[in-house]
Amino acid sequence: MNHLITLPIILPLLLATLQLLPLFEKSIERQRVISLVGSLTMVIVSVALLMSASAGNVTLYALGNWDAPFGIQLVGDRLSSLMVLLTSVLLLAANLYASAGDDNQGRYFYPLMMFQAMGINGAFLTGDIFNLFVFFEILLIASYSLLIHGGGKHKTSAAVHYVFLNLVGSAIFLFALGIIYGTLGTLNMADMALRVRELNESEIQLTKIGGMMLLSVFALKAALLPLQFWLPRTYASAPGPVVALFAIMTKVGIYSIIRVQNLIFGDSAGALTDLGQDWIWVLALGTLVMATLGVISAPSVKRLAAHLVILSVGTLLVAVGFGSANSLSAALYYAVHSTLAGAAFFLIGDIIAEQRERSFDRIVAGRSLAQPMSIGILFFIAALTLIGMPPLSGFIGKFLIMKSIDSSSALVWAWPLLLIGSLAALVAFSRAGSTLFWRSNGKPDSSKASATRKFVAVGILLSAAPLMSLFAGPITQYTDATVEQLQAFEQDPTQIMAKGVQR
């Protein structure tokens, strides 16, 4: 049995536990070393998983050697391996950034970051929907604590709304699981895909209700309209390295929508085929509208970054909601781009906030930055990437999505909103850049200069933009093959069941 697939879950758990031992708990320096080495190790493990998946291998791991659907299993395919690698890169960059001193505000920063990574990776790798709920709870509990890391009334106030909404979402998730288990008799996702084809009339409506409840929970995690209002305030109040890792949180919701929609409620689901697909499309268009308004009106850099995350959610779910193989492949490319670029911009906003003292990251005239040239270059690259200017990855991702929407009735709605969103981002970045870098009214405070490792962390994330453009061919081949694999699983779900199931 290939145990490599367990490491993205077990390794952060072990590292977090180690850092809570007396020898390391009171030494932030030792925690830093453990976290940086562990994060780098997770990147290496994730690359190994991706290489295995890119060769067409599907890694199935039956925990306790209990075969599906009776036991819990992990599934390492092209999609989950890609998302685990994305999480590992974010974690490495966030920990590197925090190691410059941002981790001093609390004793449990690094253990919480590891628990957060464990929950995210588990959500991507699990093949059982109940354990998806379990890993959701792990990542959410860690995120509650990380959100208020360092204290402050502003952070606590934002955390209250975030905690309340997610507790409601968790309750709905649990009710949905109960309904679905009552009708299907299983929570293994592959087995659910088989059982949903055999439902009788009396069971279809209950399963439909459970399925729509699931989609509503995933929509909350993804920040889809009208469930996106929690995100700007929450993300804007979080510490820089924390919100950099949070950049993938909405992608967990989108990943769950893709996995459930394609595997369980795909073209072979009979009466439940494409459950909620039309709603996803319509609400994604609405999300684009609201995010565009938010981008234009953002009062600070972090708020701008948060609204850009929502804009990327709308863009991705427009592609997912359209439902073609090409649009889904384009969405996967864009998901990687938007996650890394968004995380980088959050870190840039954090650097700006710490150097401008009372003005923080608000888009108003204030104290000059201590390192205007370095920050300005990073800001400019991030702006080009997030706006979608050629030749960087943002342009390629949006071009692929727009090209994939080939229905005349659909493109009439999608194309204008996508282009207007890019125009709004251009206007917002122009306003923010001109204010922050050209309307300063005070001498810079050299003592506020940021450590080199912070710029290295941002550079790691921003380097993805030119690299994804340079290697756009191989990356799109990978995403195309990922969609083909998802379609193959839809046709024969037993491919992702450890030893299958006897019927």
With H, G, I as helix, E, B as strand and everything else as coil, classify residue 188: strand
Whole-Å CA distances, 341 to 245, 306, 345, 444: 12, 12, 6, 27
pLDDT band at 503 (very low <50, low <70, confident <90, very high): very low
Calculate the CA 323 to chain-centre distance.
20
Contacts for 170 with CB less than 8 Å, ≥ 6 apart: 133, 136, 137, 140, 217
d(CA 245, CA 407): 36
Classify residue 447 as exposed, middle or buried by CB count within 10 Å of its CB (0-12, 13-18, 19+).
exposed
Longest dimension (CA), the chain: 75
Return the number of other C-beta atoms located less than 10 Å from residue 52's C-beta: 19
**Lowest mean pLDDT segment, chosen from 46-55, 157-166, 187-196, 317-326:** 157-166
List the one residue out of 457, 234, 430 whose CA is nearest residue 348.
457
**C-alpha atoms less than 13 angstroms from C-alpha of 208 in its C-beta half-sphere:** 15
Q: Is the pLDDT of residue 219 over 80?
A: yes
Residue 74: beta bridge partners?
61, 126
Tens-digit pLDDT profile for residues 422-447? 999 999 999 998 888 887 776 766 66
More confident residue, 274 or 397: 397
User: What is the average pLDDT across 118-145?
Assistant: 91
Residue 59: beta bridge partners?
76
Number of residues in the chain: 503
What pLDDT does residue 438 have?
A: 84
Q: Is the pLDDT of residue 235 over 60?
A: yes
pLDDT band at 152 (very low <50, low <70, confident <90, very high): low
Peptide bond connecting 390 to the previous residue in cis, omega within 30 degrees of 0: no
**Lowest mean pLDDT segment, chosen from 64-68, 169-173, 219-223:** 64-68
Q: Is the pLDDT of residue 93 over 70?
A: yes
Tens-digit pLDDT profile for residues 296-339? 998 989 999 999 999 999 999 999 988 888 999 999 999 999 99
Top-confidence range, 136-145, 220-229, 354-363, 456-465: 456-465
Counting other chains too, the contacts that 460-463 makes at CB distance below 8 Å and 24 or more residues apart are: 460/89, 460/92, 460/93, 460/96, 461/89, 461/90, 461/93, 461/244, 461/340, 461/341, 461/343, 461/344, 461/347, 462/340, 462/341, 462/344, 462/378, 462/381, 462/382, 462/385
Return the number of other C-beta atoms located less than 10 Å from residue 408's C-beta: 7
Tens-digit pLDDT profile for residues 381-416? 999 999 988 889 999 999 999 999 887 777 888 899
Q: Is 402 left (phi over 0), alpha (psi -120 to 50) or beta?
A: alpha
Block residue for tokens 């981002």: 425
Contacts for 237 with CB less than 8 Å, ≥ 6 apart: 147, 154, 155, 157, 158, 159
What pLDDT does residue 444 have?
A: 65
More confident residue, 37 or 161: 37
| Helix extents (H) in 264-324 | 277-297, 301-322
What pLDDT does residue 502 have?
A: 38
Q: Is the pLDDT of residue 484 over 80?
A: yes
Tokens describing residue 4: 């490599």
What pLDDT does residue 446 have?
A: 64
Q: Is the pLDDT of residue 470 over 50?
A: yes
Q: If you ran DSSP here, which 8-state letter would residue 367 be given?
A: S
Q: Please, what is the average pLDDT of the chain?
A: 87
Q: Is the pLDDT of residue 186 over 60?
A: yes
Classify residue 14 as exposed, middle or buried by CB count within 10 Å of its CB (0-12, 13-18, 19+).
middle
What pLDDT does residue 482 have?
A: 93
Tens-digit pLDDT profile for residues 341-352? 999 999 999 898
d(CA 278, CA 3): 40
Asked if residue 170 lies in contact with residue 221, where contact means CB atoms within 8 angstroms, the answer is no
What pLDDT does residue 43 have?
A: 95
Whole-Å CA distances, 332 to 171, 223, 319: 29, 17, 9
How would DSSP label each residue in 46-91? HHHHHHHHHTT--EEEEGGGPPTTTS-EEEE-HHHHHHHHHHHHHH
Contacts for 293 with CB less than 8 Å, ≥ 6 apart: none
